[in-house]
Amino acid sequence: MKTLTSFRRILRTVAIGAVLFSSVWAARSTESGGAGTIVNGRPDVLTSQRLPSPGTHPFLLVRQEDYPALQARASESPWKEIKAQAISEANTLMYRTTDNYWVQSATVQDIVGSAALAYILDPANRAMYTKKIYQTLLLWDDLYNELNRWDWTYYVRPGSAFFESVLALDIVYNDLTTTERETVESKLDKVAEWYWATTPTNTGWPPSAFAVRGIWALYRGDRSRIDSSKASYRSALMNLIAASGVFYEGPGYGIARLSWTDRVQKWAFIDVLEFTGEDRTYYSDPLLKAGYEWLYRGAVSPLRYPIVFADTLERVNVASEMAPATLRAHRFSDQVARHAAWYSPAGAVKEELLAYLLMDRPLPAPEKPLSKIWTDNASFWEDNPSDKSLMGALWNTTRAGGHNHRDVNAIHLTAYGESLLSNAGWALFGAFGYPVEYFKETASAGNTVLLDGMNHAKKVGAGIVEGFTAPLFDYASGDSGEALANGTHVRNFVLVHPQDRKSGYFILFDETRRASTSAAVTMNVALHPPSITYRRMLANREYRWTVRRLGPTDVFLSIFLGTSPTGVEIRDGPLSIYRGGIFKYLYSTYRLDGFGKRNVVTVLFPHDATHAKATMSRITGTRYSGARIDLGGGVKDIALESTGTRVMRYGGVSFRGLATIYRQSGGSTTFFFVRKGRAFNDGSARRKGFEANDDVSVYLKGTVGKIISPGTEVTLHYPGIVGVKLNGVMVPTLATGESWVKIVVPAGTHDLEFST
């Protein structure tokens, strides 16, 4: 119990300390001259050869000429609170040989970080802080004895403590005697040599190893090792980020490796390299900017928790744990900083050397996340989001690493303060009686689609191949690529935003086709609400889950099967979300048609005491199926799938396409969407719709919308239309008539606007 209590204390310390780390780089932005001068908010450019002469310290992340400005900053919040906390912890934190190795490493990191910051800000007591740092650095003999390249706790975690130990040694260098300095340097030398002699075994560990090697090489002034380390570090770090900016091993490890304080070396070496002038290209690197933008927009939910794809654990304190890196977000771009400001936790900032130095300016006004589509991930947000908002995400990475799952085309949903659909998540050692292979290697452990129940063959797909975000409507299409060995799956994920005083909801249009070499006869859809409480509203048609994990009231997810299944099972399955366990999930099965295909419509409708549920009914016709979604007050949505090979008719409306959804209110069509289609006619006297020579995807609400075209002629119908703008530019008309215009729509995705 004593060890557990200490472990929890350290976790809390590290979590809050994340906030402080961000401050550290901030302090770097001083008004001093020379190598430390700030130009346009960034340190002036130094060559990679301008290391200080031997014995000149500190220089890794702060210089002595910066101290007056850093001390002056402590008169204002939040810096004055950070100073007080640093002094307090420098005086009270104690290393205990009875603690486990993780806690011991964390304690060393916390002591040297707090004492080094106190040394800068409380000069009257520098002798005391120097002694505390010196005595703590002597403990590296103890930590060294258990280093192990096969175990994260004994490889990466001590690397974080080593990184801050070197920063602290750099700061108190001039106050140590020669004997003291040589003593601790010999101990750190031994650790650094161990990291040089070992090769990390996990694909995500190299940035740690190269940062540990690199910061000691910088401290020692070893040019060949500096160049080797920083080149290897850049390659290893950038290799973790897909070209779109998505951290392809999942939100959990993206957040951890780019921001957490229990592995600061992985991301803070960026700041050391920038500060020393060894590499001034990180803050301006487009890939890293995209990575941090995705981190604060695509990796998190309205609850400010990481969304669960791959090895991700939904954790309530993640915002605090990543705060230090968050507070220096402006170094990458103002936009990244605005998104980081939305994400950053309010309240006290825990003492930490890095946080104080990095936080050289207040965070800007926060910018709330907006829907966005990356090549590997689509993230859809209700407009003007709050922690109660609707948010959904589609996951389809084109690369994989050690932490990926078989979750191609998986989805995540959050609504009204609860996660309503989750995937298997992080369970590196297994959990709840299930082996780790279940979580990492089982496609049905996530919100996925299978053929004949066969597990996915690969952890990568073809990515998000089509989609757009539009006024009150978002759409993304993920292609499974080679993930399914016996066929293909295209998942079309739609968010219908709240509008017309009606609740918003999500729709899945799933399209499957078996491979020519396969004998598959069924398609399976797995959906995992994090709850054991469900109700069968209507067998094989509508099921309702009750979720109350994070908030004080019930939130519901109604799953409506618009396409008739051949069977539905309620299965047991674990989710390693925060306070997770064995939950009940829906597993529905559909028979493929004579051509080995099946398209399926599923409505995912969140509701609670203040957001009414729609009344949903099934629509079945020849070669089409779907759902009528009655939102009340004369407002209804119709969602249908078809083969796309001929015109389908329902209730006076006709369309040709793989899918459509449209809203009718007061006898008028207020919006419509057609996926990969050639026609839509709302059936009114003054028609709204289109015809196309080739398949296009079209959304229109009023006179604005989106169109995705292969490059084809399109005739657009709308009452009083006289012209069309694509991307804000009026385009030539091929022909016109009463309330219709024919144009050529070039290949690509375009904003659509009618002149009437």
Residue 189 has pLDDT above 90, yes or no: yes
Beta partners for residue 650, in sequence order:
653
Residue 2 has pLDDT above 70, yes or no: no
**3-state DSSP percent of the chain in helix, strand and coil, to 5:** 30, 30, 35
| Distance in Å from the first CA to the final CA of the chain | 73
Residue 260 has pLDDT above 90, yes or no: no
The proportion of the chain whose per-residue pLDDT surpasses 70, expressed as a percent, equals: 91
Q: Report the range of poorest mean pLDDT among 36-50, 224-238, 353-367, 478-492.
A: 36-50
Residue 487 has pLDDT above 70, yes or no: yes
pLDDT band, residue 10 (cuts 50/70/90): very low
Q: Whole-angstrom Cα distance, residue 676 to residue 645?
A: 10
Q: What is the model's pLDDT at position 628?
A: 98
Q: What is the model's pLDDT at position 462?
A: 98
Helix (H, G, I), strand (E, B) or coil at 333: coil
Q: Report the range of poorest mean pLDDT among 200-204, 297-301, 306-310, 744-748.
A: 200-204
* Average pLDDT score over residue span 137-144: 97
Q: What is the mean pLDDT of the chain?
A: 91
**Tokens found for residue 351:** 């003492």
| Residues 619 and 626 sit within 8 Å (Cβ to Cβ) | yes
Q: Whole-angstrom Cα distance, residue 111 to residue 115?
A: 6
Q: What is the model's pLDDT at position 322?
A: 67
On whether the pTM is more than 0.85, the answer is yes
**Residue pointed to by tokens 């951890």:** 256
Q: Show me where the domains of the chain are located.
A: 2-358, 372-613
pLDDT, tens digit, 9 for 90 and up, residues 312-341: 988 765 666 667 888 899 999 999 999 998
Q: Which CATH architecture has domain 372-613?
A: Distorted Sandwich (2.70)
Q: Whole-angstrom Cα distance, residue 307 to residue 392?
A: 9
* Average pLDDT score over residue span 264-286: 97
pLDDT, tens digit, 9 for 90 and up, residues 631-662: 999 999 999 999 999 999 999 999 999 999 99
Q: What is the model's pLDDT at position 347?
A: 54
- The DSSP annotation for 621-654 comes to ETTEEEEEEEEETTEEEEEEEE-SSS-EEETTEE
Do the first three CATH levels of 2-358 and 372-613 match, i.e. the same topology? no
Q: What is the model's pLDDT at position 350?
A: 59
Q: What is the model's pLDDT at position 318?
A: 62
Beta partners for residue 414, in sequence order:
391, 419
Q: What is the model's pLDDT at position 81?
A: 86
Residue 257 has pLDDT above 60, yes or no: yes
Q: Whole-angstrom Cα distance, residue 416 to residue 557?
A: 11
Q: What is the model's pLDDT at position 577?
A: 87
| DSSP H helices in 277-423 | 286-297, 318-321, 323-327, 334-343, 353-358
Q: What is the model's pLDDT at position 43?
A: 36
* Average pLDDT score over residue span 409-436: 95
pLDDT, tens digit, 9 for 90 and up, residues 99-121: 999 999 999 999 999 999 999 99
pLDDT band, residue 54 (cuts 50/70/90): low
Q: What is the model's pLDDT at position 349?
A: 59
Q: Whole-angstrom Cα distance, residue 626 to residue 91?
A: 67
Strands 635-642 and 624-632: antiparallel
| Residues 506 and 496 sit within 8 Å (Cβ to Cβ) | yes
Q: What is the model's pLDDT at position 383?
A: 92
Q: What is the model's pLDDT at position 579?
A: 77
Residue 202 has pLDDT above 90, yes or no: no
Residue 222 has pLDDT above 90, yes or no: yes
**Residue pointed to by tokens 């385009």:** 731
Residue 31 has pLDDT above 80, yes or no: no
pLDDT, tens digit, 9 for 90 and up, residues 285-314: 999 999 999 999 999 999 888 999 999 988
Q: Whole-angstrom Cα distance, residue 546 to residue 533?
A: 6
Residue 12 has pLDDT above 50, yes or no: no
pLDDT band, residue 52 (cuts 50/70/90): low
**Residue pointed to by tokens 């690197």:** 285
Q: Which CATH architecture has domain 2-358?
A: Alpha/alpha barrel (1.50)
